[in-house]
Structure 1
Amino acid sequence: MEALYIDKHYNLVVECKQGSKKACYELYRLYSKAMLNVAFRIVGNIAEAEDILQESFLHAFNKMSDFRQETTFGLWLKQIVVSRSINLLRKRKMAWAEVEDVELENIADEEIEDDSEQQYKVAQIKEAMKELPEGYRVVISLYLLEGYDHEEIGQILNISENTSRTQFLRAKRKLSEILSRKGITS
């Protein structure tokens, strides 16, 4: 017998499975903002992200009987949002460049003492990420913001792990150029 993963919203999920519209609304209220952010970071357009959010919740609620609580509802929903976001990008006919092996650079961890300064820099970086080409933005968002590794990104985007690493490195360089051009030091 498979072990079920019990999360803090287990009762809402059970009620939603039983057809409770109130429970479905509560799950929507709890997760919609975070899932909108996930979609927006991937597609880079708020209107498209809102559409993805609605489609993802509709899909999740229609397939609620398939959800077996082997993970949290939030993680299951996030996978749906990421998948639908990637599908939208594929519809845009995003081109990926296969490239040869590139040596990975080490990213130095720098301690920032002032939390408000760190939050300001993070906001500036997120803003600068919007200027990246779509392929770069998707890979760097999935890696840095969503926590996927290059193997997972490769599977999600149907590209090689090496292409994911290369796109990430190129995105990092391009982001650094954008930040330098704006006079922002990392």
Structure 2
Amino acid sequence: MTEEAILQGCLRNNTTAQRELYQRFSPRMLSVCYRFAHNREDAEDMLQEGFIKVFSQIHTFQNKGAFEGWIRRIMVHTCINHLKKNKKFNESVDIIHANSVQVREESVPSIVQAKQVVECIRLLPIGYRTVLNLYAIEGYTHKEIADMLDIEESTSRSQYTRAKQMLEDILVRKKIIQKPKEKVNWLGIASGH
């Protein structure tokens, strides 16, 4: 079934098209949810809630940009709303294996596997982890993050800076990267971000 056929079927509430959409996109969207979730059950709840929104809002998709990108934005906002609703920004987290992650910065050393980075990101406090995910992986600006999380833009920037430092410390401690002899921005991001 083509993406256009799936979209048209979902607009008509066709259960076969809805099932196809879910099967096609749920593995990638579950990976997105894992990066934000406190545990596997929360990730699955976020995924289900996100797909309910996708199906109920599918009529708003205007074929501007990728359909998957539209679904991903709904998932990210669903995850943020879930965290806000459950006030989980101050809780510590455990490691859950995620399927994949695409880091926006291209200079991450090739020896560092994406899965290892995701596991280490999951060790960050949830506030740091959320800002890092939104900025470095999802590509949102600090202004957009501040609006989403109801925080100041400067808070987003400082949480991101602290998250990067904490993540680097974790990666060094787990021997995934070596401690740089001089201050190196291993994520390849300019300091002013």
Same fold (TM over 0.5): yes
Task: Verify: 1:156 aligned to 2:156, yes or no.
Answer: no
Which residues of 2 match residues 93-132 of structure 1 at below 5 A? Answer: 93-94=87-88, 110=107, 112=109, 117-119=111-113, 122-132=114-124
Pick from 7, 31, 37 the counterpart of residue 13 of structure 1.
7
Q: Percent identity, please.
A: 38
Q: Which whole-Å deviations, capped at 9, do the CAs of 1:127-146 have from their partners, x for residues lacking one?
A: 11111101001111112222
Amino acid at match of 2:54: A
**Partner residue in 2 for 1:91:** 85
Count of residues paired in the alignment: 163
Pick from 111, 131, 140 the counterpart of residue 139 of structure 1.
131
More helix by share: 1
CA 1:20–1:135: 2 relative to 1, 3 Å: same
Task: Verify: 1:168 aligned to 2:160, yes or no.
Answer: yes
- Normalised by the length of structure 1, the TM-score is 0.77
Mind listing any 5+ residue stretches in structure 2 that lack a counterpart?
A: 91-104, 179-193
Computed over aligned residues only, the root mean square deviation of the Cα atoms, in angstroms, reads: 2.3
Moved over 6 A (4+): none
Most deviating of 169-178 and 63-72:
63-72
Amino acid at match of 1:14: Q
Whether contact under 8 Å (1:42, 1:142) holds in the other structure is no
Q: C-alpha distance in 2, partners of 1:174/1:134?
A: 12
Greater C-alpha radius of gyration: 1
Task: Verify: 1:74 aligned to 2:82, yes or no.
Answer: no
Mind listing any 5+ residue stretches in structure 1 that lack a counterpart?
A: 1-7, 97-107
- Normalised by the length of structure 2, the TM-score is 0.74
**Partner residue in 1 for 2:52:** 58
Q: Which whole-Å deviations, capped at 9, do the CAs of 1:92-132 have from their partners, x for residues lacking one?
A: 32568xxxxxxxxxxx97575xx5x343xx32221111111
Residue 153 of structure 1 deviates from its aligned partner by 1.4
